[in-house]
Amino acid sequence: MTKNTKIYVAGHRGMVGSAVWRALDGKGYTNLIGKTSGELDLRNQKAVAEFFEREKPEVVIDAAARVGGILANNNYPYQFLMENMQIQNNLIDSSLKADAQKFIFLGSSCIYPKMAPQPLKEEYLLTGSLEPTNEWYAVAKITGVKACESIRKQFGKDYISLMPTNLYGPYDNFDLNTSHVLPAMIRKFHQSKRSFLSMLSGVEAGEKDLPVTLWGSGTPMREFLFVEDLADAVVFALENKFQDNLYNIGTGVDLTIKELAELIQKTVGHTGEIIWDSSKPDGTHRKLMDVSKMESAGWKAKVGLEEGIKRTYEWFLENQETFKQVKI
């Protein structure tokens, strides 16, 4: 591996891919390749194969995926299953055929069984049934993990899978119909502030902010990883050779959704009531990653949740007009 190694970052415009790109650029890697979805449709097998034949990247980082929260997974099960398999299968197979020496596949903690013991260890994969609310995405990602493992076993190539916990940070998706819980909360609390509503409509601000309604009971526990920490883990994996094919990436620390909501509310400066809609699903009760394997390899998360939320909200405020996600 040299600073001039040809590295293709699939999905380089997304939250994860852009963070990986910035991390690589910051460490002096100069031969980076990125294509927008308009330039290269990763679902198109022929187009992807031709791209690899032409460019012949030495390293491929797969940060491309169709992603979303519970609502999106429930509403679009076929797209979440099929499009993710198309994207990753095309990238993995073309990488093998183009003789790429390293492939880093990024998945999700949802690949583990719903009732697996906590914290989640890599060895729990395929030991039980999945959480129904996101099984379509999970099944797709499991096939990607196994494809990389089979190439590693059969061809001896350095293809590895990194499974991050719940991610958040700059360039996140703040659309309330398709976003994950943390960015959705940031937007909801922000839009319920009287100062925001006053600025938007010209109505005089009242004494209290509007209440915010959140899904579920608030009791499930979740772990969150700042996206720049994941990017740092990807660079670490790029620069080192791992013994195994599958590694969890997280903080090893979780909190309840209620505690998360209160932390975001405090960060945003919202003073209204929080209402929990228990008619909506909670999802898996707890998803905490066992990150001891990655820590033993030499990498550990650095950004705490409070600092990460603050940095994410600052980015949201600076960019909301650009990405046009704040609409009433």
Give, for 306, the enclosing helix (H) or strand (E).
helix 305-323
Give the integer Cα–Cα distance in Å for 306 and 309. Answer: 5
Closest Cα to residue 7, out of 144, 105, 102, 106? 102
Which residue ranges are tagged as binding site for substrate? 188, 215, 222, 282
- DSSP class of 269: T
Whether 7 contacts 58, CB under 8 Å = yes
Going by the annotation, the residues of the binding site for NADP(+) are 11-17, 106-109, 141, 164-167, 180
- Cα 247–Cα 251–Cα 252 angle in degrees, nearest 5: 85
Smallest Cα–Cα separation from 287: which of 259, 260, 255, 261?
255
3-state secondary structure of 300: coil
Residues 6 or more apart whose Cβ sits within 8 Å of residue 310? 267
What are φ and ψ of residue 80, in 5° steps?
-65, -35
What is residue 98's DSSP assignment? Answer: T
What are the CA-CA distances from residue 132 to residues 74, 210, 213, 220 (Å)?
A: 9, 33, 23, 16
A 10 A CB-CB count for 99 gives 12
Q: Among the options 137, 159, 168, 171, which is catalytic?
A: 137
Determine whether 8 is an active site residue: no
CA distance 302 to 226: 9
How far from chain centre, in Å, is Cα 305? 15
Instruction: Return binding residues.
Output: 11-17, 106-109, 141, 164-167, 180, 188, 215, 222, 282
**169 within 8 A of 308, measured Cβ to Cβ:** yes
Question: Catalytic residues, which ones?
Answer: 137
